[in-house]
Each structure stands twice: as structure tokens, then as C-alpha cells.
Structure 1
Amino acid sequence: MTSTPWPNPFIEQRADPFIQYHNGVYYFIASVPEYDRLEIRQARTIEGLRKAKATVVWRKPDTGPMGELIWAPELHRIDNKWYIYFAAAHTRALDAQGMFRHRMYVLECTDADPLTGTWQEKGQFVTPLDSFALDATTFSHQGKQWYLWAQKDPDIAGNTNLYLAEMATPWSLKGKPVMLSKPEYDWECRGFMVNEGPAVIRHGERLFITYSASATDENYCLGLLWIDQAADPLNPDNWHKSARPVFTTSYPNKQYGPGHNSFTRTPEGKDVLVYHARNYTEIEGDPLYDPGRHTRLKYLEWDTDGMPLFGEPPADNP
């Protein structure tokens, strides 16, 4: 459960990692330490992503709504087009409540190759709440395309909750969002009251959502939601939530704050957990600006009841 066939760290100084597999090619995108651009790598194998050249496909403007702190990009393929979902802050970085002025944005590429194709800004992904929002992902389920993200509700204590809604287009919502989870357990509220970074995986008759909780230091960890695949995902009562975190800091392995994950698969169909973690706890200044969150990989296993077994973050093995 703790072994991994990949070097650890897998890619250094890349937080919020996301790996997409499409037509025999793996694509990698993540937050860069400068928070100023979006770059993509591609390779025929997962291992090949380590040494693959990073191609910058978009840079932030100097001013305006997308002028600061480009966070947590994801690359998705919808209706034979490429989309990048990401969060960005206004150059007036803080709002009246002292929160970052992040909103979610979308880029579109209609060319076959997302590294050489032309990317167009589709603008802000607007939600009913005009508040701090980030970490969007999207997935197809029950014949519909869904949008899943983290956002601050001014009427709910804490920083961010998780919301789900059907999509009308790859850059707009259809219908009213529902809240799937908010910080409520102690392990979700250490340092900050946070549910963020959702990721989706299916197995058997269930659909699962992992998410990250607490501050981005050694308290950062993964929580888990799940639902029967046939159930209505817009009914919050159909969702189950683990009362305990499923992937946490390993002090024996010196892996701290594992979180903001995604999932991919090997060509043979084995599920792979993609995440970031630090190998130290001594952070100078704000953890947000510490570049030591490295991309890491490990196999995701399943128990006999069809529930995921995350194990613990394996030790560094460069």
C-alpha cells in the first residue's frame, strides 16, 4: 500500500497536479510556484511526464481580474474540444473581508493538440454566489456534464464548501447548484475551515469525490464523499461522507500535507492517485508561497466492498 513504481517526488515544485489521459497520450498541468502562467506537458507514458518539456499556453495579464495568483488548473476534453479550468485573483488581491479575490475562469482550444493549438479566453465561470471560488473540475455522469468546485458562502462559517451543478456549456451552469459538503469535522478545520480541490473517480456501482481539507501545511489531508451511480447527484441526502480523513500526513515517511489530488490510470487500467505533499514542516512565511509542494504518485487500491484504500504517502525515493 505504500510502495510506488515512480520516483518520489515525481515532479518537483508542482502543486495541485492534474494528469489527463486521452488517445494514448498523458497530459500534465499544475500550479507553478510563480502562479503566473499555465503550462502543459505531454508524454506517451506517465513516467515520460517527468522529463517532458513544459509548454506555456497562457500567461496572466499584468492587471485586472486574472492578474494574480493563477491556481489549480485542470485540462479537460469535452465535445472534442480542450478546456482549461483555473482560478485567478484580481490584482486588487484582497476583498473587504480579507479574502483573496479569486474567481474561476475557462480557456478553450478547438485544435487537436492542446500544446500547439490556439487557446481562447471564454471568461469567468459565473456561479450564483459572487464570492471567493476556485478548484473547479468537470466530469460526465448519467449522460450529463457536471461542474464541481469550491466556494465561500458568506452566510456559512469557514472558508470554502463544495458545490455541484449541471453544465449548460463548458463555460456556464444549468440549474441551481447544491452544496455537497462543508467543513464540520476537526480534521477539516485545522488552521482554516476548508473543503477544496475536489476530484472524481468511479469504481463498481459508486462514484467518489475526494477533496482537501484544513490549512495547506502538515494539516492538509483528503476527505471522501460517495454516492450510488444510479442515484440523483443533486440530492445531497444521497451522498455519504467519511467521518475520518482518508489520506493524511505520514510522520514516519516524512510526507506532510498530502492533498489536492487528481486521478489517472495506467494503460493496463490500474488507478493512480496524483497528489502533492512536502517533505518538511519548517515553512518560512506563508505556506502558500513555499514552493516545496511536489507532485507525487501512488497506486490507489480497492477493498472487497469496493471502497478505496489510499494507504499512506510513501517516503521520498528519488
Structure 2
Amino acid sequence: MSYELLCYQRQALATDLYSEKLAWSMHLALKEKGAADFVPLNHNFGVLFVEATADGQGKLTAKSLLKPWLVQQDETFFVLAIRINADGTKDEASKGAVVPFTTSDFVHYTELPLLKISDNYLQDIQATYQAGSFLLSWQEEDGSAFSLSLASLAERDATLLPRKKLVSWDTPTPKTAIEGALPRNSLEISTELGNYLSKKLTTPRHVENEYPQAVHLESLAQLSNVKVTATYSDGTIVNKNVDWFTENSLPDDSGVYNVQGKVHQDHYPFPIACDRADPCIGKWQGYYYFIATNDTDHNHSLAIRRGKTIPELVTAQEIKILDSDMYDHIGNLLWAPEFHIIEGRLCIFHAATPAKFENEQSHVMRLKENGNPMLKSDWEVPRRVVKKDNSPLIEGGITLDMTVIQNKGRHFVVWSQRQLFPDDLGAWLYIAEIDGKKPWKLITDPIVLAQPTYDWENNHTFVVEGPYSLKRGKKIYLTYSGAAVDATYCVGLLTIDADLELLNPQNWVKNNYPLLSSLNVEGEYGPGHNAYVTDEEGNVWNTYHARPGISAPRSSGIRRVHFDIDDEPVLDVTEEKDLNPELTIVATKVTLH
């Protein structure tokens, strides 16, 4: 069975959720052979965005793309599009040019240099590949149309190649009822690729259970070891505990018994904490601890909760450990606290300022030896993070959202840094190595790790922030948040092989589209600034904030992290998709010896 892959753009139907900048991107949809219509991928969110441009001082100018078109050359696919300014106006640097991308799987893309084909502005583009060459056709802004043939889309200038003037311009477009879709063209792709895209760009859902139909045990206590293997729509599996119904129903005597149970699932209704943003859960000496930015008092205090289990944190009492009146050098905004254990010491990384927002800087507060995290007197005075020469991380700007990556005995920090003066360059992610004995001090120079170059990262404002790492096998995943802290807030992803040098930005791979947006989970707007914790069963949990309404306050949520067919994190597997309500009850025959 083959698939048809549709390339389309969208109308900006709800600009508070999906602005024109986001709609001006490439979207994809799949249709199985014989199906009535295409099914949108990635929640009808764009999967391909064009890079912003930068001037000599590093100031970014956002760009968008129009009229994307798919073309195939053997096993390689290309996307051609017209680059425009993010406000919809013509991009002078792209006059007469198309921006090509190459991909082998429609998930990972490489943006190629602009290919100039005319001296005039373009308003439409088409392409085919046959007999060893590409045939490009385009329409210019005055309505005239031309075509030319060239051997490679990696060319920089094709204006001197012979061209043919076309009598008319026609763009046959496939039909679809996808909301807001502006179809462009489609390609027939292999069953293998279609299956991959379906599994990769749709949210997995629980579809089947596998468990023993009969077990032989020496006591009922051993029944707790009998688990369910849950299979998901993408073919991935997760082992889950079962709460067996054995209370007052079975004697602990020899015999054969039919036993039922329910697949265990912790329940976290969203939100678990209102007016709590940037949440983080840490583990320390047998307890879980929850901390977050306190929007209730306008970010003037930090409080923590403690529980023996993660579910206990939802209703645990909050204990204040820091406020803006305790120390002169942190007299105002307290933001984005995170727990990290460094050299056997529990630390809280957070941002603070003695006065104005413009003075917000990253700090570290370390627990005293043998201290109790619930006692504010057991925390050392917060120290400002400094460079290796003890100078500030930045002059004329702010630093915040500092997180820690520990790898191969080394300690790295990643943070968001924003130059405000003399010009606002937006918030970028930086990375450096720190001294494990003095986690407030860098031992390498700061290096730019990522900038808000895609439209979903610079929607309303140029910001990437809230990084947090997750180690999985030989990969390190670093999620981060982009855009303004409103309903368009999104979660992006950077990935690196753990054996590579983390301080080399070229070793990191950046996703072109976000992992999580307001389109992923109904009723959760502007999801972002997340952190991870792993429980005793090996389940990874994502803490994040979102808004229960478009203009509602930032509030905390918890959701299990699923791992897809590439073992990459999936952040939108809701409880109903994680455990199918129709597959909750299981049964087995127990033989007690």
C-alpha cells in the first residue's frame, strides 16, 4: 500500500493561537491509497520553517516561506519555496530566488543557499525532476511565467541559463477538507516512508495489552511482579504495573484462582497547581521535591513541596524557603527555580535581581551540609553565576533559566541570555562548563548554542529559554521554550550524541518544528518551560506550565514522557492516550503452589 503526501500551507484562522507567521510554513498530510481525504500531520502545525537572517552584530530578522513545492530526485526529496519577510512583505535579499531544502524523511531538513532564477520578484513556483534534471517553472509578480532546466538545486545563480517563456500559468492543486489548508502539490511515497511519517508525526495512543494469561506463584505477594506490556499505535511498548484485585478475595492457599486487576495509572488533572510556572521536580535522599515560579505574589518568593511519591506532591503543603526580602542582592523577581545535585550537594538554580527586570541574573543556592531542604535556614546564601574571571555573564542584559547537564564526569550549564543594551538582540541559549565544587563559576567561555531563528521561536518576540536536559541511551535531549510567554509559547528540541563534545554547537541538531504547542493538547495553551524527573519504575515525567484558557494564568501540569520509534521524547501523550480506558481491566489465572 502506497501513500500520497500532501504539501500545503494554512490560513491564519485563529491568530492568537496560530498567527500568519506560523501559517506561512510548510504543512504535511497523508492519505492512504483508497482513502477519502488526507490526514494532517503534526496536529496541523507546520513542519518546515525557514531560518531567520542575521546582520553583522547578530541582530535577527525573521523570515517566512510561501508556496512550498515538493519534488523528488530518486531517494532524495526537495522542497522549494519563496522566502518573504515575517510581516508578509517582499524579502529584498530573496528577490528572484527560491529557497531549497533537502530531506530524506520529511522530518529532518537541510536548508540550502538561495537559488536565484530571475531578476524579478516571484509569486509562485513549481518543479519536477526527470531525465537527470530539474525543470523549474515560476510566475513573476507581473503575471509572466518562465521555466528552465538545471542539473542541481544546489546552484546559487541560474539566471544565465536558457529559459522558456510560458504561455499561461496553471497550478493544479489536490483537494482536501483539512481546516484552513491551502494545498500546493502532492507526491506518492513508499509504504515504509508513509508509515514512518504517520508514526512520527501523530501522537501515539495505547492500542493493545500483552500479559500472561496464567501464572504460577508461591504466594499472592508475587502477583505484584506480573506486569502488562502496553503497545502503542506506533509500535512502541511500555511496561506498566497492575493493581490486582486481591483484597479479601483470595486465600493465600494452594489452588487455581481467576484474578482481575486494573492497569496502574497515576492521575494528574491539569492544572495540578494554579499560578505556578516553570515547574521542576527533583529527588533527594528518598523524597521528591516540587518547586516553581510563584505568579501569585508576582514572583517574590520560592516555595517547595515534599512527598514520598510524585502524586503526593500535588496536595503537599508548600514551605517558603526564599523571598525577595531575605537578601539585598535579590530584592525582586525570583524566576525559574530548578533542583540539581552537583558533587553530592543539592542546589537550586534560579534567577534573581536586586531591583529591575533589566538586572535579572542567574544564581545558585546550595543546601548546607546535612541540611533539610524544607528549612530555609539550611540553604546557603544565593550566589550569582560568574564567568571564569569572576566577571558577570553579561553587561547590559539579563541571564535566566540556567539548567545543568552532567555528562562523563563534567558539569555543563545552559541558560537563556538576552542583550538589552545598546540593542535588544533577543534571548539566546548559551552553554559553558562549570566547576563542580563551585557551581556558580564557569571554567570555560560562554558559547552560543541556539538562537530563535524559526518563526515559532520568534513569534511576537525573539526568545529561546527554559532549557532542560534528558539523557536517554547515548543521546542527550535538550528541550527549550520559544516565543512570547502567551498562547503561542512552544517547546523545541536540541539533540546531541553523548559521546560528542557538548561545547561544540555544530554537534547539536535542532528540530525544525516544535515538540509541543497549543495545538497538541486541547485546553492547554502556551505549553512550555518543562523539566523531567524519573520515578522508581523508570518512567520519565514531564513537568511543564500551560494556560487552562488563552488568557488564563500560567499553571503547572505533569504528564508521562513517551518515547517514539526513534526513541525521541513525545510530550503530548495524554492520560487517555497513555492508557486506553477500554483496556484498563486485565485478568489472569493464578496457580498458587
Residue 46 of structure 2 aligns with which residue? none
SS at match of 2:312: helix
Q: How does 1:111-190 map to 2 (within 5 A)?
A: 111-116=370-375, 118-127=378-387, 128-130=393-395, 131-153=397-419, 158-168=425-435, 169-190=438-459
2:554 aligned with 1:297, yes or no? no
Question: In the TM superposition, what is the alpha-carbon distance from 1:80 to its structure 2 partner?
Answer: 2.5
Q: Deviations over 1:277-297 (max 9, x none)?
A: 0011136xxxxxxxx211101
Task: Tell whether the 8 Å contact from 2:482 to 2:491 is kept in structure 1 after alignment.
Answer: yes
Could you tell me which runs of 5 or more consecutive residues in structure 2 were left unpaired when the two chains were aligned: 1-203, 207-265, 388-392, 577-593
2:366 aligned with 1:108, yes or no? yes
Cα distance in 2 for partners of 1:123, 1:90 equals 12
In the superposition, the TM-score normalised over structure 2's length comes to 0.48
2:294 aligned with 1:32, yes or no? yes
Counterpart residue identity of residue 124, structure 1? R
Question: In the TM superposition, what is the alpha-carbon distance from 1:229 to its structure 2 partner?
Answer: 0.7
Q: Could you say which structure has the higher helix fraction?
A: 2
Cα distance in 2 for partners of 1:44, 1:62 equals 29
Question: In the TM superposition, what is the alpha-carbon distance from 1:158 to its structure 2 partner?
Answer: 3.6
Residue 286 of structure 1 aligns with which residue? none
2:348 aligned with 1:84, yes or no? yes
Counterpart residue identity of residue 141, structure 1? N
Residue 77 of structure 2 aligns with which residue? none
Q: How does 1:255-274 map to 2 (within 5 A)?
A: 255-274=524-543
Task: Tell whether the 8 Å contact from 1:19 to 1:28 is kept in structure 2 after alignment.
Answer: yes
> Which segment drifts farther, 68-77 or 246-255?
246-255
Task: Tell whether the 8 Å contact from 1:104 to 1:136 is kept in structure 2 after alignment.
Answer: yes
SS at match of 1:48: helix
SS at match of 1:176: coil
Cα distance in 2 for partners of 1:197, 1:279 equals 20
Q: Deviations over 1:252-284 (max 9, x none)?
A: 71210000000012220011111000011136x
Residue 310 of structure 1 aligns with which residue? 571
Cα distance in 2 for partners of 1:197, 1:173 equals 19
Question: In the TM superposition, what is the alpha-carbon distance from 1:157 to its structure 2 partner?
Answer: 6.1
Counterpart residue identity of residue 105, structure 1? H
Give the number of aligned pairs. 301
> Which segment drifts farther, 150-159 or 31-40?
150-159
Cα distance in 1 for partners of 2:327, 2:540 equals 40
Cα distance in 2 for partners of 1:48, 1:252 equals 24
Question: In the TM superposition, what is the alpha-carbon distance from 1:119 to its structure 2 partner?
Answer: 1.3
Cα distance in 2 for partners of 1:213, 1:311 equals 17
Cα distance in 2 for partners of 1:183, 1:102 equals 20
Cα distance in 1 for partners of 2:548, 2:471 equals 30
Cα distance in 2 for partners of 1:78, 1:161 equals 25
Counterpart residue identity of residue 374, structure 2? L
SS at match of 1:215: coil
Cα distance in 2 for partners of 1:221, 1:269 equals 26
Task: Tell whether the 8 Å contact from 1:81 to 1:112 is kept in structure 2 after alignment.
Answer: no
Task: Tell whether the 8 Å contact from 1:210 to 1:223 is kept in structure 2 after alignment.
Answer: yes
Aligned in 2, Cα 1:71/1:314: closer, same or farther, shift over 3 Å?
Answer: farther
SS at match of 1:170: strand
Question: In the TM superposition, what is the alpha-carbon distance from 1:40 to its structure 2 partner?
Answer: 1.1
2:471 aligned with 1:210, yes or no? no
Counterpart residue identity of residue 544, structure 2? Y
Task: Quote the RMSD (CA, aligned, Å).
Answer: 2.2
Cα distance in 2 for partners of 1:215, 1:177 equals 24
SS at match of 2:443: strand
Larger Rg: 2
Cα distance in 2 for partners of 1:191, 1:313 equals 28
Cα distance in 1 for partners of 2:352, 2:568 equals 34
Cα distance in 2 for partners of 1:251, 1:303 equals 16
Cα distance in 1 for partners of 2:321, 2:536 equals 27
Give the % identical residues. Answer: 32
Q: Deviations over 1:153-210 (max 9, x none)?
A: 4688642111111102211110112111010000000111111000000112100100
Cα distance in 1 for partners of 2:366, 2:549 equals 37
Q: How does 1:30-109 map to 2 (within 5 A)?
A: 30-33=292-295, 34=297, 35-61=299-325, 64-91=328-355, 93=356, 100-109=358-367
Task: Tell whether the 8 Å contact from 2:520 to 2:572 is kept in structure 1 after alignment.
Answer: no
Question: In the TM superposition, what is the alpha-carbon distance from 1:2 to its structure 2 partner?
Answer: 7.6
Q: Which has the higher contact order (CA 8 A, sep 6+)?
A: 1
Cα distance in 2 for partners of 1:158, 1:188 equals 14
Question: In the TM superposition, what is the alpha-carbon distance from 1:138 to its structure 2 partner?
Answer: 1.3
Residue 461 of structure 2 aligns with which residue? 192
Question: In the TM superposition, what is the alpha-carbon distance from 1:63 to its structure 2 partner?
Answer: 8.3
Cα distance in 1 for partners of 2:448, 2:573 equals 29
Task: Tell whether the 8 Å contact from 1:258 to 1:313 is kept in structure 2 after alignment.
Answer: no
Cα distance in 2 for partners of 1:138, 1:20 equals 13
Task: Tell whether the 8 Å contact from 1:158 to 1:194 is kept in structure 2 after alignment.
Answer: no
Residue 20 of structure 2 aligns with which residue? none
Counterpart residue identity of residue 286, structure 2? G
